Amino acid sequence: MAEGPRPKRRREEEEDEKPGAAPHDGAAAAAPFPLAELRLQRVLRESARDKAVFLHGEVTGPSGEGTDAVIILEKTPFQEEKLSDLLKKHVKLELQMRNDIYSTYHLYPPPELSEIKTTVVFPATEKHIQKYLRQDVHLVRETWEDYTQITLPFIQSQSFSVQWVYNILEKKAEADRIVHENPDPCDGFVLVPDFKWNQNQLDDLYLIALVRRRDLKSLRDLTAEHLPLLRNILREGEEAVTKRFGIAPSRLRVYLHYQPSYYHLHVHFTALGYEAPGSGVERAHLLADVIDNLAADPAFYQKRALTFALRADEPLFHKFREAGRA
Amino acid sequence: MAEGPRPKRRREEEEDEKPGAAPHDGAAAAAPFPLAELRLQRVLRESARDKAVFLHGEVTGPSGEGTDAVIILEKTPFQEEKLSDLLKKHVKLELQMRNDIYSTYHLYPPPELSEIKTTVVFPATEKHIQKYLRQDVHLVRETWEDYTQITLPFIQSQSFSVQWVYNILEKKAEADRIVHENPDPCDGFVLVPDFKWNQNQLDDLYLIALVRRRDLKSLRDLTAEHLPLLRNILREGEEAVTKRFGIAPSRLRVYLHYQPSYYHLHVHFTALGYEAPGSGVERAHLLADVIDNLAADPAFYQKRALTFALRADEPLFHKFREAGRA
């Protein structure tokens, strides 16, 4: 799995290269990758939304030995200046379906308008291949009983470290990044930019509110007792984002994850226009809804089933499967 | 803004059609849309992530008058069975960059491997054009009072046509596309592939369940009375997708939109691995959660606030703003 087993192959490849053939960009050069001779081993992953596919292939060398390659194919965004050509110069236009004012077609454009971005990793190690390999994802619908009998024992058996959270709360790290804090030990929190946001543009704004108290793992621990804390986070967090970044509350998505990636209660603030990973209905819970649910029923999250997705290789998924619940 | 100003154009179009040219689905027919004669007016919106573009164009009729059309071009996901051809039969492969073990290329495939899904709305009204035009988006948190005082009067004042839904329910269109149906007039529904899915690959599987009864506009109309209907949709819909497409229920996201794009109750079925547009927490409501909410409180959706996003140019957003609620 690790990079370990195959470093030698890469060094051999580099030694084979002719220094004189270096292209203008100064990188080590070679003939174009022999794409047509690639033997397709399997599809590692595909993304229908992104129109991309990740392939594992093998190239046979002169002495008959196979060398692994990873190939990423991705269709490219439309270019505005080529749209007229695309509409006019199609090779074929096939009617697929017609209903009322709507119709759909298959349009086949000429090659020069159909560029596919192709990325080659060659030679590829096992680690490269694993990196792009998709695992199946399954929905689990966790009842309160599932939580107490499967999920909670699992969380407790793992020693998930949240030292990095404590470092922020104690100002041992990222103290200069704090956007807002409420010092109350019970109903207080710290708001910081998420690691995923580089803060260069507001389009993908992403902040995290970390609660000060350390006894709340997730949504499942919340009761009406926590309403003051949750209302503080929503109101003060929105105000702080408006003040610092000029983004109005109506342009912010404020939510919790279930399952979270770490079991110290936290709330996500993302720009509404940014479809942040994890903002889908199968993982995100709007803080405003959580507050209303707890106000209507103080034990809402100790009663109700919650749906979430797990990768087939995750230990928690195995626990659900062993229990016959997935 | 409303559909109102231009209904005549649509009737004229229908009268012009030749009955003999009806395609197999029985819908009103016509010659293929004259794509090559379209005059491109502007790009309404583009999505670099989805590799899609939304265009406003105009077609000139025999008497010289222009008629608006909306054209949606979207590159299609890769099909597994065509990957080998794609690697071998490219027309050209251009090296773009090479660095260490990484290189990138432009690959130009032959037309038959470069299908573009093309959706035509013709004739298009101003409303269709506005629908696809990119705009700022704001969250609204709609209380039940907001619904009765702002949203419901607005819906009733608009004459949103759902004739295409009735065409499907009455088998006047898309009859050959029905994946499953339950004929019960009260608790029955029809399951069909969504327009957005070309059915060539399962990665972006997308089906819609349309309820037979015509008195349910949205989530806001649902009470415990509708639990049999909703449970039928969830159970039979999942079974039908497993049977026809081999996709287990744990790999399906089943949800409603609020606000929906049309006010005839329907449920979305999408592949879990596909981050379908509209599957975000600010629009999607898992059918399993809706069922549990109604089982716990028959009037849940007549009591609780619901959050959704509206574009700044949408008439409903103006209504909320006028009322001081956005």
- Given the residues B106, B226, B266, B318, the one annotated as active site: B266
**What are the structural domain ranges in chain B?**
7-76, 80-111, 135-322
At B258, give phi and psi (nearest 5°). Answer: -140, 120
- The whole-angstrom separation of Cα B257 and Cα B286 is 9
The C-alpha of A307 sits at a distance from chain B's nearest C-alpha, in angstroms, of: 8
> Which residues are A256's β-sheet partners?
A285
For residue A180, what are the contacts with CB-CB under 8 A and spacing of at least 6?
Answer: A190, A191, A236, A237, A239, A240, A244
Q: Is A196 annotated as a binding residue?
A: yes
**Right CATH for A137-322 from 3.40.640.10, 3.40.50.1260, 3.30.428.10, 3.40.50.300:** 3.30.428.10
Element (H, E) at A118: strand A116-121
The closest of A322, A325, A315, A323 to A135, measured between CA atoms, is: A315
CATH 3.30.200 for domain A1-76+117-132: yes
pLDDT > 70: percent of chain A: 90
pLDDT at position A209 is: 98
Angle at Cα B83 formed by Cα B79 and Cα B87, nearest 5°? 150
pLDDT at position A280 is: 96
- The whole-angstrom separation of Cα A208 and Cα B217 is 37
Element (H, E) at A310: strand A306-311
pLDDT in tens, chain B (326 residues): 222 222 222 222 333 333 333 333 433 345 678 888 899 999 998 887 789 999 999 999 888 899 999 999 999 999 999 999 999 988 899 998 888 888 889 999 999 999 999 999 999 999 899 888 887 899 999 999 999 999 999 999 987 789 999 999 999 988 899 999 999 999 999 999 998 898 888 989 999 999 999 999 999 999 999 999 999 999 999 999 999 999 999 999 999 999 999 999 999 999 999 989 899 999 999 999 999 999 999 999 999 999 999 999 889 999 999 999 98
Residues of A within 8 A of B271 (CB-CB) are 48
Q: What is the pLDDT of residues A11-23, one digit of tens each?
A: 233 333 333 333 3
pLDDT at position A25 is: 39
A52 and B167 within 8 Å at the Cβ level: the answer is no
Q: How confident is the model at residue A228 (pLDDT cuts 50, 70, 90)?
A: very high
pLDDT at position A31 is: 67
Q: How confident is the model at residue A174 (pLDDT cuts 50, 70, 90)?
A: confident
What 8-state DSSP symbol labels residue B186?
T
Between A311 and B292, the more confident residue is B292
pLDDT at position B98 is: 83
Architecture of the domain delimited by B135-322 = 2-Layer Sandwich (3.30)
CB B54, CB B132: distance < 8 Å: yes
- Mean pLDDT (whole number) for A268-280: 91
Q: Is A117 annotated as a binding residue?
A: no
A99 and B10 within 8 Å at the Cβ level: the answer is no
- The whole-angstrom separation of Cα A319 and Cα A154 is 8
B163 and A100 within 8 Å at the Cβ level: the answer is yes
pLDDT at position A4 is: 28
Per-residue burial over A201-226, b if 16 or more Cβ lie within 10 Å, else e, is eeebbbbbbbbbbeebbbbbebebeb
Q: How confident is the model at residue A238 (pLDDT cuts 50, 70, 90)?
A: very high
- The whole-angstrom separation of Cα B102 and Cα B300 is 55
A226 is catalytic: no
pLDDT at position A203 is: 78
CB B118, CB A107: distance < 8 Å: yes
Interface ipTM: 0.73
- The whole-angstrom separation of Cα B199 and Cα B180 is 16
Helix and strand numbers (H, E) in chain A are 9, 14
Of B35, B98, B111, the CB nearest to A110: B111
Q: Is B258 annotated as a binding residue?
A: yes
By the 10 Å C-beta count (0-12 exposed, 13-18 middle, 19+ buried), B322 is classed as exposed
pLDDT at position B7 is: 25
pLDDT at position A12 is: 30
Task: Output the CA torsion sign for A290, A293, A296, A302.
Answer: negative
Q: Is A108 annotated as a binding residue?
A: no
pLDDT at position B201 is: 87
- Mean pLDDT (whole number) for A109-115: 93
At B309, give phi and psi (nearest 5°). Answer: -100, 140
A253 and B139 within 8 Å at the Cβ level: the answer is yes
Helix and strand numbers (H, E) in chain B are 9, 14
- Mean pLDDT (whole number) for A310-318: 91
pLDDT at position A202 is: 84
The C-alpha of A162 sits at a distance from chain B's nearest C-alpha, in angstroms, of: 26
Q: Which of B74, B118, B137 to mutate to test the interface with A (most CBs of A within 10 A)?
A: B118
Between A154 and B200, the more confident residue is A154
The closest of A246, A267, A288 to B141, measured between CA atoms, is: A288
B107 and A118 within 8 Å at the Cβ level: the answer is yes
pLDDT at position B104 is: 87
Structure tokens at A186: 């019970």
- pLDDT score of A8 more than 60: no
